Every structure is written in structure tokens, then in C-alpha cells.
Amino acid sequence: MIRCVRIWTAEDGNSSFEEGQIDLSGGARGDILSATADVASISFRETKAGGTFAWHTAPARQFVITLSGTLAFETRSGAHFTIHPGDILLAEDTAGSGHNWRLVDDQPWRRAYVILTPGVEIPFIPAQPAA
């Protein structure tokens, strides 16, 4: 399972999020893998330990793949979630009130930004609510 948190702009203009995973249902040779998704570009970035970023929206619909660093995200409604190394953020809140983040450990945030092709379907499976 690859943990994925999806953040998007809700009807009220505020960012909302849900936890889930990337669908890894296919495969061969004992591997499991996702379907492919068309992407426009990939880039890499590093922010030193202790970094923060004030309220903002995603500049494009994208995957943000965390390689190192642990981050606390917040939406304007006060909801929080944490991203750990190996997690994927599916950032779709390209409008509205946005979100902010801060690094909460002593590691730099190293990540890959994968800009998605407009309209591409993503193999995201929302987590099932606890019973």
C-alpha cells in the first residue's frame, strides 16, 4: 500500500482532504502496481529543516512525493493531516482558500513534484470510514 492524501477545493471554496491509497491492483512476478497516468513534467525540490509555507493553493494538479521530512498540513477550517516520507500528496486545491504546511522533524523536505496532464484519471482509493 502506498499512502496518499488527496486535497481539493470543496464547494465552499475551502480546501478539504481525505486519506487513501494508490490503487495497486495489477502486477506480474509478485509485484503489485498501479495503472499509468499521463504526466506533463517532474521536478525536485528541497526545503531545509524548520521550513514553513503560509496559506497557498497548489499551482497545478499534481502529485507531491515526499522523499524525506515530516510535514503538518492545515486547512482554513482547522483540519490537520501529516505527510511522512514515502507518502504521496495528491494536490488538487488549485483555487480557493488553500492550505499551509510546516516541517515538524529535523530533516529537510525533499520531494518530487509530478505535474499531471489535465483530466487524467488517478488511481486513488479513498480510505473506508471506520466502522
pLDDT (tens digit, 9 = 90+) per residue, 91-108? 999 999 999 999 999 999
Q: How much is the pTM?
A: 0.93
| pLDDT reported for residue 30 | 82
100: CB partners within 8 A, 6+ apart: 52, 53, 54, 55, 56, 73, 74
Please give the pLDDT value at position 130: 52
Give the model's pLDDT for residue 26: 77
Domain assignment present for residue 131? The answer is no
The Cα–Cα gap between 84 and 47 comes to 15
> Residue 122 sits in a domain of what CATH number?
2.60.120.10
Percent of the chain, pLDDT > 90?
89
- CA neighbours closer than 13 Å in the CB half-sphere of residue 111: 23
Mean pLDDT of the chain: 95
C-alpha cell at 105: 522533524
Range of the domain at 10: 2-126
| pLDDT at position 5 over 80 | yes
53 in a structural domain: yes
For 24-71, how does the pLDDT look when each residue is reduced to its tens digit (9 = 90+)? 987 778 889 998 999 999 999 999 999 999 999 999 999 999 999 999
pLDDT at 129 over 70: no
Structural domain total, the chain = 1
